[in-house]
Amino acid sequence: MDRTLMHRTGEVTLTVRTPDGRPAAGRTVTVAQRRHAFAFGNIGFDFVPLVAGPGPAGAGDVETFGQAGGLDLERAEALWCNLFNTATLPFYWGGYEPRRGAPDTARLTATARWFAGRGVTVKGHPLVWHTVQPPWLLGLDLDEVERLLRARIRDLAGGFAGLIDTWDAINEAVIMPVFANGDNAVTPLARARGRIHMVRMAFEEARAANPAATLILNDFDLSSAYECLIEGVLEAGVRVDAIGLQTHMHQGYRGEEYTAGVLDRFARYGLPLHLTETTLVSGHLMPAGIDDLNDYRIPHWPSTPEGEARQADDVVRHYRTLFAHPAVRSVTYWGLTDDGAWLGAPAGLVRADGTRKPSYDALESLIKGEWWLPPTSMHTSADGTLTVRGFLGDYTADGVPFTVTAGRAAQEVTLT
Amino acid sequence: MDRTLMHRTGEVTLTVRTPDGRPAAGRTVTVAQRRHAFAFGNIGFDFVPLVAGPGPAGAGDVETFGQAGGLDLERAEALWCNLFNTATLPFYWGGYEPRRGAPDTARLTATARWFAGRGVTVKGHPLVWHTVQPPWLLGLDLDEVERLLRARIRDLAGGFAGLIDTWDAINEAVIMPVFANGDNAVTPLARARGRIHMVRMAFEEARAANPAATLILNDFDLSSAYECLIEGVLEAGVRVDAIGLQTHMHQGYRGEEYTAGVLDRFARYGLPLHLTETTLVSGHLMPAGIDDLNDYRIPHWPSTPEGEARQADDVVRHYRTLFAHPAVRSVTYWGLTDDGAWLGAPAGLVRADGTRKPSYDALESLIKGEWWLPPTSMHTSADGTLTVRGFLGDYTADGVPFTVTAGRAAQEVTLT
């Protein structure tokens, strides 16, 4: 066991009982991990049309991505569910409610249920953001925009409660009031009323509508600006459940030292860290001079053999760094396949033709290999117990479930 | 009158009376401006040794600058007082109290009085900062550092009350907890307790010790980070009197558009803006890649004829932009002469040999020329009145003082 991963493991003394309740002494049972407690996530945008059909009229007017046309549902499911246990679904206002008053509730509900039925935790992204807006929002006055935004937050957080209990409550609040890369109705509101007003609105409305929700403050800005925002928000008494850190590394892997430094800086607020949006490309790197990644538009951004080898290496280095840091609770990769990937980047773990890249295999070798207990024969002692030390999560003994939690615990299973 | 400067002017209908109190009809009087209401400032660091002698033992152990060895007091006074009405004096902890318990109170008091006696407003800089620390502070525990810092704030703000009623309460709080360019005792405190804790401490201690003080939050970071800090501080209920913006442009003048954009962004908090630290060099520019200006150390940084022409042009463009913006209340230039200038830069308005650079003349042509009413003969009407429209500030009519305030007002002077 890697000492740096001790915080990811626990030890269970498991008393195995026969169906009649007596300790099963000297018995061989197969112990197997079923699920990680750690959230290994990916976006599930591709699955919305696969599971629930095409989007509403007008949804195509706003930017969309993650439409894996090259995969059928069965192949997509096999690739996705093999690695991931947490799915982020898209609730961009412009895509979700392209026509005022006609939100895409049915398709998102169906897709969320589809994931939930496979044991996948579903997360919604994002309740408040200034980008990917519905055109009908432009031109409304500030009070009306705020009223509609509050109603949207309540409708989503409340309407999906129980099915979706994790939300990016507000996205990119640091740049929100000074965003200059596209007209929208939220930037003027944030400029007039302030970042903390926006953050409070998002968290308080969502919290009221779903008190059980895990609500995340999410940003791509990992500079002191985000620290200052967090300190202001916490000082203002807004209850934040987790700090979301985006890391779209289209311009190249940022390295272990940088990453660990970022994690340490944001861990000092004592809140869980969610690596909400993680990208590493398997083609050429986007030039470093591009400030807003959205400004880089090229007709074709191919995945290359050299790029795929580098991406696999980067993925392993990055996930090792994140998994080793005790504050990190969740890592969401930003896309399964290159088909329809954000910015057209070869950011997937799977090529557009549905074949696995080396990065997929590399990530599998961590999530389902090095950090995973495969079905293993174990023997109970004379008192019917055996000891399982493993990565935190759900397990079975001869098919009967038990859980490995932090520290040491005693549990029982009764064989059937 | 330039329409963009209307907010800098006022109109006074002045009733001029003869010594016996009757209206002086049809009389010629000389009206002259004596002082700007706008704070045209400069540092007065050079004057401390000139006025009050050498510093205490140990003061040389910490970084100092602004020691104009090339000028005597008379020449320095003539050059300084011709243009400026507000002096920033240095209260860097390491220079002010190099030996614990033996602060340099006497010299700073003498220098502040010297300026005050010449009609100059004195400002103290800074109460809390992480740089230029006394060596004896290192190694003390956090509680002790906070206790000493609070005592220092009270001692300075309270002890100098009436003589110094304007303070940079805290300097560079954005970088304070993550500052990595030199060991100090304040960074660990800020890291442990948060930026807003530090800001609140500075403002509340200083406010308690001198309720009449104008207390400034000051930073070089003009990015969204500073906005986020300000929003957090205001949301936390800390009363800030002015927002301080540093602009050390050793790497080149940043231009009117950039400057106006910065002013607009920070003006939206409804607080006065103080341009606290303004530098434009008259030699080669510091390379753009240098992040912390303190890292650029060269043996000799000469003032050049081309550089002096550029500096004069930059100074005029920059001061015009600042004076035109209604939120700006104060502009402090960072040094009079090149002799002993910060970073050895040719940042002065005066060369090391005491001769004026073109930038000095250019600034004089604004402050004492275009934006100034020189002694002017005016004639009272039959009822003894005359109308003065001028830049806000102090004036005299035949030597008798009156004031031009914003808007329109009626005033009286009685000739002697």
User: Which DSSP state fits A233?
Assistant: H
- Per-residue pLDDT for A335 more than 90? yes
Q: How far is A297 from chain B (nearest CA, A)?
A: 26
SS3 B223: coil
Contact B235 A231 (CB under 8 A): no
Minimum-distance CB partner of B224 among A194, A225, A235 = A225
Residues of B in contact with A181 (CB under 8 A): none
Question: Which chain A residues have any C-beta within 8 angstroms of a chain B C-beta?
Answer: 174-175, 177-178, 191, 194-196, 221, 223-229, 231-233, 235-236, 265, 268
- Read off the pLDDT of residues B75-94 as tens digits, 9 standing for 90 and up: 999 999 999 999 999 999 99
- Per-residue pLDDT for B1 more than 90? no
**pLDDT interval class at B3 (50, 70, 90):** confident
Contact B228 A228 (CB under 8 A): yes
Coarse DSSP helix, strand, coil percentages of chain B, rounded to the nearest 5 percent: 35, 25, 40
- Per-residue pLDDT for A3 more than 80? no
Separation between Cα atoms, residue A201 and residue A180, nearest integer Å: 22
Cβ pair A332, A39 in contact under 8 A:
yes
Residues of A in contact with B191 (CB under 8 A): 268
Q: What is the pLDDT of residue B61?
A: 54
Cβ pair A177, A195 in contact under 8 A:
yes
Cβ pair B360, B68 in contact under 8 A:
no
Average pLDDT over residues B142-148: 98
Helices (H), B126-194: 142-159, 186-193
- Per-residue pLDDT for B60 more than 90? no
Contact B232 A227 (CB under 8 A): no
Interface test with B, best of A198, A235, A291 (most B CBs within 10 A): A235
Residues of B in contact with A235 (CB under 8 A): 194, 196, 232, 235-236
Neighbours of A162 (CB within 10 A): 9
Average pLDDT over residues A22-42: 97
Look up the CATH number of domain B38-370: 3.20.20.80
pTM score, whole prediction: 0.91
Cβ pair A321, A260 in contact under 8 A:
yes
Neighbours of B82 (CB within 10 A): 13
Average pLDDT over residues B370-389: 97
- Read off the pLDDT of residues A144-167 as tens digits, 9 standing for 90 and up: 999 999 999 999 999 999 999 999
- Read off the pLDDT of residues A56-93 as tens digits, 9 standing for 90 and up: 776 655 555 665 556 899 999 999 999 999 999 999 99
- Per-residue pLDDT for A319 more than 70? yes
Cβ pair B381, B36 in contact under 8 A:
no
Contact B223 A228 (CB under 8 A): no
Contact B174 A232 (CB under 8 A): no
Comparing A30-44, A61-75, A137-151, A359-373, which segment has the lowest mean pLDDT?
A61-75
Q: How far is B131 from chain A (nearest CA, A)?
A: 18
Structure tokens at A298: 């090229």
Q: How far is B148 from chain A (nearest CA, A)?
A: 24
- Read off the pLDDT of residues B217-253 as tens digits, 9 standing for 90 and up: 999 999 999 999 999 999 999 999 999 999 999 999 9
Q: What is the pLDDT of residue A255?
A: 97
Q: Tell me the C-alpha to C-alpha distance, in Å, between residue A188 and each of A137, A144, A194.
A: 12, 12, 10
Separation between Cα atoms, residue B244 and residue B222, nearest integer Å: 10
Average pLDDT over residues A12-40: 97
**pLDDT interval class at A1 (50, 70, 90):** low
Q: What is the pLDDT of residue A55?
A: 83
Please give the residue of chain A at the shortest CA–CA distance from B226: A225
Contacts 24+ apart (CB under 8 A), B236-241: B236/A232, B236/A235, B236/A236, B236/B196, B236/B200, B238/B196, B238/B199, B238/B200, B238/B203, B238/B204, B239/B203, B239/B207, B239/B215, B240/B203, B240/B215, B240/B216, B240/B271, B241/B213, B241/B214, B241/B215, B241/B216, B241/B271, B241/B272
Cβ pair B240, B217 in contact under 8 A:
yes
CA distance between the termini of chain B = 32
- Per-residue pLDDT for B384 more than 60? yes
Minimum-distance CB partner of B178 among A191, A229, A265 = A265
Q: What is the pLDDT of residue A69?
A: 58
Structure tokens at B110: 């003498």
**Domain spans, chain B:** 3-27+380-414, 38-370
Interface test with A, best of B217, B235, B266, B291 (most A CBs within 10 A): B235
Q: What is the pLDDT of residue A322?
A: 98
Q: How far is B63 from chain A (nearest CA, A)?
A: 26
Contact A232 B227 (CB under 8 A): no
Strand B121-125 vs strand B166-171: parallel, antiparallel, or unpaired?
A: parallel
Separation between Cα atoms, residue A187 and residue A184, nearest integer Å: 6
* Cβ–Cβ pairs < 8 A, chains A and B: 68
Question: Which chain B residues have any C-beta within 8 angstroms of a chain A C-beta?
Answer: 174-175, 177-178, 191, 194-196, 221, 223-229, 231-233, 235-236, 265, 268
pLDDT, mean over chain A: 95
- Per-residue pLDDT for A125 more than 90? yes
Average pLDDT over residues B346-360: 96
Of A180, A104, A96, nearest in space to A132 by CA:
A96
**pLDDT interval class at B254 (50, 70, 90):** very high
Q: What is the pLDDT of residue A223?
A: 95
Percent of chain B's residues with pLDDT above 90: 93
Contact B232 A232 (CB under 8 A): yes
Place of tokens 């400026």: B84
How many CA atoms lie less than 13 Å away from A130 in the CB half-sphere?
24
Q: What is the pLDDT of residue A108?
A: 98
Average pLDDT over residues B194-209: 98
Average pLDDT over residues B62-70: 59
Separation between Cα atoms, residue A282 and residue A343, nearest integer Å: 13
